[in-house]
Amino acid sequence: MCKELRTGHLMMEIPDFKKRGGLVPVVTQDADTGEILMLAYMNEEAWAKTLATRTACYYSTSRKALWRKGETSGHVQEVKEIRVDCDADAVLLKVHQIGGAACHEGYKSCFFRTVDGDGWHVVETRVVDPETVYGKK
């Protein structure tokens, strides 16, 4: 997966958005603790906005629209570092999550369930009440 680096990706100044139809997956990590907070996507516009504002902007594949994380809740993600992978088709954001919870379900991380031989188990504790942040649904 890293071979393309040798053929010129180091010269690119943006990730390879063409490879998968205009989107790249983005891993978002707590800059202080290293916890993975979420996985989302960016299109080229979201990438540019993230660089310009230093707050995370994604592309919502369900709403098919730009998604500035925290635009509803105020819980934006301050971007501390941006990385790209070897073949330039994935992004890593290291962030400070305002409000403490990246997940709409009120957990710090969207990855709050673990999988073992007995199935899926919630292994994290809710840190905020989703209804307080987003209102009743």
Are 26 and 110 within 8 A, CB to CB? no
Within residues 43-102, the interface with a copy of itself by CB under 8 A covers: 51, 60, 62, 81-87, 90, 92
Told to check if 115 binds a copy of itself by CB under 8 A, we report yes
Q: Which of 8, 119, 125, 136 binds a copy of itself (CB under 8 A)?
A: 119
Q: Find the helix or strand (DSSP H, E) in which 130 lies.
A: helix 130-134
Min separation Cβ 81 and a copy of itself, Å: 6
Min separation Cβ 2 and a copy of itself, Å: 4
Q: Which is nearer to a copy of itself, 64 or 116 (CB)?
A: 116
Q: Find the helix or strand (DSSP H, E) in which 69 lies.
A: none
What gap in Å lies between CA 25 and CA 56, rounded to an integer?
Answer: 13
What gap in Å lies between CA 72 and CA 28, rounded to an integer?
Answer: 19
Length of the chain: 137
Are 112 and 103 within 8 A, CB to CB? yes
Residues contributing to the site for a copy of itself (CB under 8 A)? 1-3, 5, 10, 12-13, 25, 27, 29, 33-36, 38-40, 51, 60, 62, 81-87, 90, 92, 103-105, 107, 110-116, 119-120, 123, 137
